[in-house]
Chain A
Amino acid sequence: MENFIQLLVQGILVGVSYAVLSAGLTLIFGVMNIINFAHASFAVLAMYFPTFWFLQWWGIDPFVSAALSLPIFFVFGYFVQRLVISRVIGRPGSETATLIMTMGFSLLIENMILLVWSGAPRIINESYTIATWRVGGVLINHAQTYGMLASIVLIIGLFIFLNKTTVGKSIKAAADDPEGCAYMGINLNLVYGIAYGLGIAVTAAGGCLMATYRPFNPFYGETIVVILFAIVVLGGLGSVTGAVIGGLIIGLVQQLSSLVVAVSLQNVAVFLIFVICLYTRPQGILGKKERAI
């Protein structure tokens, strides 16, 4: 029983951390119809810079880095969209082209990290990294808990931004009807740039938080990105709320699966859920029902 509660707690902690990462992915997908395959790689980049190196160089706390990463990666993402991705959007077959292109990005990011900072696994060593509270027989990690609280703040912030500000409303409008927005005088390119930047920024911050309790290497993103995609599909494409629910489900499945199978097969359980989802309710993944012709 204790074991079960331990895994339940762990599942929620992991699930929220995934939810932040997939919130950005689902936002970018919802607005631009792009599956951003480089998504997790941006998060891994944020684990190195600013998180790891700011701590090494100047002793800046990773939680401060998480806040700093928001503007840094917003600008980075904005320019990536405006300078590179926007050239491909609108072409026939752009959905697949952007997917392949972002795979190219992830290849570039991962291997640049490898080139510059080597492939050695890194770990953040702060007081909270391994410290735990003991509640009954259940152990709760400090860093993970702080990370979860920060993640909740991030998600609520994103939610408020999208629903209450003019820019946020423009983003939502552009997701709904880009053509209509263009006619209403909304600068679509600008909105797309902001949406991409925002998605990357949230993800990067999520990456920083994750780095506080997890060892990482340049290729850490390869496995996560498909888990994130599974979450986005499970939660309904383009919905931030869905990403939170999907994240929790996947986090719980991943952790609780070790009750039945070996720990090394955790992700098999996750992908199995994804595959079952494909077989049973493909409409979730078919996206908006377009009028046939």
Chain B
Amino acid sequence: MKAATGNRKFVWASNYLAIIIVCVLILLLSVLVGSDRYIQRIILLIVLWVFMCTGFNLISGYGGQVVFGYMMFVGTGAYTTVLLFKFLGVTPWLGMWVGAAIAVVIAFFIGLPTLRLRGHFFAVATIAFPLMTFPILNHLGLEEVGIPFVGHGAASLQFSDLRYYVVIAIILLGLSLSLTRKIERSRLGFALRAIRQNETAAEGMGVDTFRTKMITFLLSSGIAAIGGTIYAFSLLYVLTTHAVFGLFIIVKVLSITIVGGMGTLWGPVIAAAILVPIGEFLTAQFGARFPGLQDVVYGAALVATIIYIPEGIWGKISKSYYKRRRKEMATQAMTGTDESPAISDEFVFNDLQLSSNGIVSNEPILKIENVSKSFGGVNALNDLNIVVSAGKLLGIIGPNGAGKTTLFNVINGYLKPDKGRLLFEGQDVALLKPNALCKRGIGRTFQVAQIFHNMTVIENIMIGAFANTRNANEARAIAEKIAQKMGIVNRANDMAVGLNLWETKMVEISRALATHPKLLLLDEPMSGLNPEETVRIGKIIRGMADSGITVIVIEHVVQSLVKIADLMLGLDEGHKITEGKPEEVISNSHMIEAYLGAKWRERYVKS
């Protein structure tokens, strides 16, 4: 017990100590260099830009949804606070929270339509909003708003010495960095990384992608608004639409985050410490003779980084650090005992605390009633009726284009049926989103493996485990147990991108198992495997079914499927051709014709 708390303290310290140290160092620097406004201004700019970058980094770096319209929220925060201060005398300390709240509300309404869009469309769509606000504010006569000077003092957030602002900014930065670190290690952080790498797979593994993106977007906009307020009060005497709603905000934020490393905690800190002083120096020295020099530098840094170090400075550093550490660990393992785990040939999954826990009832777990789905005139599924009994292993065969994968996509919610009902455990679930279906107990794997390439094996499985728990430690424990079971524990901390086909398939199955499925959909698990592996995966699938998970397998390796399936079903052109015992289905004349052509059916029937 004591060891556990000690350990927890250690983890806490390693998480947040570095942040505290960095903040204290900047503070010391600021105090020590004296009241020179030029240098204090640079320090303040660095801290403020990093603060705004942390907000941007959450949604755009970790979540991969680049918000080109980030200045919308910076401007909203700045304008709200200044207008409240000027016309109603509201103290900026209160105004800044009002500004943040308004920014969050605006973000919600911007996010509703735009967060459904993918990648680069989202980026450009968001930029329309500040471009729209800009002329409206100008039209209202708010192009320039002087911040009234009411005397130096804390209440009005007006200080003669910039160091006061530096202190405030550092405290905010410490908070935002800590928040980022906390999110990084939490379910939200894992979900964001999964979304960034493969949104479709994340949704299927129980990540509510829309909600995750929305929450993060709201957080980011709040941070932007507070950053905007401090920026306006500390550095602008006259607030202009150009200064806080202009493209220049996103240019700075984007450059600093990209150069430092998207989705890294320290990247923006390092990049700002390099870029901001260079930019300020150039402007001070040559700004009069060569206007625009600073932005040329930012533009060049942006383009060069994307070409040469797409992961950014900090991304590069941490990558090479982990590479070295893994090499060291590998050499240690070599000198130590043989660590390759003994893989049992018995695949019993009862001890994984799966939801159904070996109870086999003959109740239908899934009923597909009159389901049809067509794509622009092609009927992929045609009035399909299927009943799947709990605890059974159902094999689905059919020629290419028979609608097998479409059927899976309908069952786990990627596609909505045009008509018909989908009953899971007696309830109509046809309109639920994939993540909700996953949480109800429908897990799946994919025809072409959809793993998260830049996450470790264990992290991949954890994404599945988060369908059942919010706690990262619990998720890790579940993932480790399953990795052990599936014989991939020796690769637990390796990036998924370097795995071979067998390991990739095991990761996918493990990830699906970690969601604790009652119904598991396996899309061509045997394709591409050698005969030995085919037998082994067959045993694994059988083992899962024997532990009480209802399994539906799509497979072209019919001989192997026949050996393990309880029941089989033949599909062709979206119709159910036949179902029943495996031997019956494979000797059905229509199935033979569908697979091999009419000639073979005649021969078969004759013989």
Q: Which residues of A contact B (CB under 8 A)?
A: 35, 37, 84, 87-88, 91-93, 95-101, 103-108, 110-112, 114-115, 118-119, 218, 222-223, 226, 229-230, 262, 264-265, 267-268, 271-272, 274-275, 278-279, 282, 285-287, 289, 292-293
Given contacts A96-B64, A98-B120, A275-B132, 7 further A-B contacts (CB under 8 A): A93-B119, A93-B196, A96-B120, A103-B254, A110-B295, A271-B129, A292-B415
Chain A, residue nearest B286 (CB): A115
Set of chain A residues within 8 Å of B121, measured between Cβ atoms? 35, 285-287
Most buried by B among A103, A271, A275, A287: A103
Given contacts A99-B120, A114-B291, A271-B128, contact A264 B299 (CB under 8 A): no
Set of chain B residues within 8 Å of A112, measured between Cβ atoms? 292, 296
Given contacts A84-B303, A104-B306, contact A115 B447 (CB under 8 A): no
Set of chain A residues within 8 Å of B200, measured between Cβ atoms? 292-293
**Mask: chain B, 100-123; 1 = CB below 8 Å from A; 0 = not:** 000000000000111011111101
Contact assessment for B139 and A279 in the assembled complex, using a CB-CB cutoff below 8 Å? no
The reply to whether the CB of B59 lies closer than 8 angstroms to some CB of chain A is no
**Mask: chain B, 451-494; 1 = CB below 8 Å from A; 0 = not:** 00100000000000000000000000000000000000000000
Set of chain B residues within 8 Å of A88, measured between Cβ atoms? 306-307, 310
Determine the distance from Cα of A115 to Cα of B255 in the docked complex, in whole angstroms.
Answer: 20
The reply to whether the CB of B450 lies closer than 8 angstroms to some CB of chain A is yes
Chain B, residue nearest A278 (CB): B113
The reply to whether the CB of B29 lies closer than 8 angstroms to some CB of chain A is no
Determine the distance from Cα of A20 to Cα of B138 in the docked complex, in whole angstroms.
Answer: 30
How many interface contacts (CB-CB < 8 Å) are there between A and B?
146
The reply to whether the CB of B145 lies closer than 8 angstroms to some CB of chain A is no
Chain B, residue nearest A97 (CB): B306
Contact assessment for B128 and A279 in the assembled complex, using a CB-CB cutoff below 8 Å? no
Contact assessment for A293 and B448 in the assembled complex, using a CB-CB cutoff below 8 Å? yes
The reply to whether the CB of B283 lies closer than 8 angstroms to some CB of chain A is no
Contact assessment for B290 and A104 in the assembled complex, using a CB-CB cutoff below 8 Å? no
Q: Which of B113, B131, B405 contacts A293, CB < 8 Å?
A: B405
Contact assessment for A264 and B135 in the assembled complex, using a CB-CB cutoff below 8 Å? yes
Chain B, residue nearest A108 (CB): B299
Determine the distance from Cα of A222 to Cα of B71 in the docked complex, in whole angstroms.
Answer: 14
Contact assessment for A97 and B310 in the assembled complex, using a CB-CB cutoff below 8 Å? yes
The reply to whether the CB of B258 lies closer than 8 angstroms to some CB of chain A is yes
**A138 nearest CB across to chain B (Å):** 27
Determine the distance from Cα of A100 to Cα of B139 in the docked complex, in whole angstroms.
Answer: 31
CB pairs A–B below 8 angstroms (22 shown): A35-B123, A88-B310, A91-B310, A93-B64, A99-B66, A101-B302, A101-B303, A101-B307, A104-B300, A111-B296, A230-B128, A262-B139, A271-B128, A271-B129, A278-B117, A285-B117, A285-B125, A286-B117, A287-B121, A289-B375, A292-B200, A292-B415
Contact assessment for A107 and B306 in the assembled complex, using a CB-CB cutoff below 8 Å? no
Contact assessment for A226 and B131 in the assembled complex, using a CB-CB cutoff below 8 Å? yes
The reply to whether the CB of B274 lies closer than 8 angstroms to some CB of chain A is no
The reply to whether the CB of B578 lies closer than 8 angstroms to some CB of chain A is no
**Mask: chain B, 503-535; 1 = CB below 8 Å from A; 0 = not:** 000000000000000000001000000000000
Most buried by B among A99, A104, A106, A118: A104
Q: Which of A93, A108, A226, A287 contacts B296, CB < 8 Å?
A: A108
Determine the distance from Cα of A268 to Cα of B136 in the docked complex, in whole angstroms.
Answer: 7
Set of chain B residues within 8 Å of A114, measured between Cβ atoms? 291-292
Chain B, residue nearest A262 (CB): B139
Set of chain B residues within 8 Å of A289, measured between Cβ atoms? 375
Determine the distance from Cα of A105 to Cα of B247 in the docked complex, in whole angstroms.
Answer: 14
Determine the distance from Cα of A110 to Cα of B299 in the docked complex, in whole angstroms.
Answer: 10
Given contacts A107-B295, A115-B296, A222-B247, contact A282 B117 (CB under 8 A): yes
Set of chain B residues within 8 Å of A84, measured between Cβ atoms? 303, 307
Set of chain B residues within 8 Å of A287, measured between Cβ atoms? 121
Determine the distance from Cα of A265 to Cα of B135 in the docked complex, in whole angstroms.
Answer: 6
Set of chain A residues within 8 Å of B120, measured between Cβ atoms? 35, 95-96, 98-99
The reply to whether the CB of B183 lies closer than 8 angstroms to some CB of chain A is no
Contact assessment for A282 and B116 in the assembled complex, using a CB-CB cutoff below 8 Å? yes
Q: Which of A35, A95, A110, A271 contacts B131, CB < 8 Å?
A: A271
Set of chain A residues within 8 Å of B64, measured between Cβ atoms? 93, 96
Q: Which of A106, A108, A264, A268 contacts B300, CB < 8 Å?
A: A108
Determine the distance from Cα of A104 to Cα of B415 in the docked complex, in whole angstroms.
Answer: 38
Set of chain A residues within 8 Å of B135, measured between Cβ atoms? 264-265, 267-268
Q: Which of A95, A100, A271 contacts B302, CB < 8 Å?
A: A100
Closest 4 CB pairs of A and B: A107-B299, A111-B292, A104-B302, A114-B292
The reply to whether the CB of B127 lies closer than 8 angstroms to some CB of chain A is yes
Determine the distance from Cα of A34 to Cα of B558 in the docked complex, in whole angstroms.
Answer: 43
Q: Which of B136, B138, B291, B447 contacts A119, CB < 8 Å?
A: B291
Determine the distance from Cα of A226 to Cα of B196 in the docked complex, in whole angstroms.
Answer: 25
Set of chain A residues within 8 Å of B446, measured between Cβ atoms? 293
**A26 nearest CB across to chain B (Å):** 13
Determine the distance from Cα of A212 to Cα of B483 in the docked complex, in whole angstroms.
Answer: 68
Chain B, residue nearest A273 (CB): B128
Contact assessment for B293 and A115 in the assembled complex, using a CB-CB cutoff below 8 Å? yes
**A72 nearest CB across to chain B (Å):** 22
Determine the distance from Cα of A288 to Cα of B362 in the docked complex, in whole angstroms.
Answer: 43
Q: Which of A104, A222, A286 contacts B303, CB < 8 Å?
A: A104
Contact assessment for A226 and B128 in the assembled complex, using a CB-CB cutoff below 8 Å? yes
The reply to whether the CB of B124 lies closer than 8 angstroms to some CB of chain A is yes
Contact assessment for A115 and B290 in the assembled complex, using a CB-CB cutoff below 8 Å? yes
The reply to whether the CB of B382 lies closer than 8 angstroms to some CB of chain A is no
Contact assessment for A96 and B295 in the assembled complex, using a CB-CB cutoff below 8 Å? no
Determine the distance from Cα of A95 to Cα of B124 in the docked complex, in whole angstroms.
Answer: 12
Determine the distance from Cα of A174 to Cα of B136 in the docked complex, in whole angstroms.
Answer: 42
**Mask: chain B, 571-600; 1 = CB below 8 Å from A; 0 = not:** 000000000000000000000000000000
Determine the distance from Cα of A99 to Cα of B197 in the docked complex, in whole angstroms.
Answer: 17
Contact assessment for B450 and A293 in the assembled complex, using a CB-CB cutoff below 8 Å? yes
The reply to whether the CB of B251 lies closer than 8 angstroms to some CB of chain A is yes
Contact assessment for B254 and A100 in the assembled complex, using a CB-CB cutoff below 8 Å? yes
The reply to whether the CB of B409 lies closer than 8 angstroms to some CB of chain A is yes
**Mask: chain B, 299-315; 1 = CB below 8 Å from A; 0 = not:** 11011001100100000
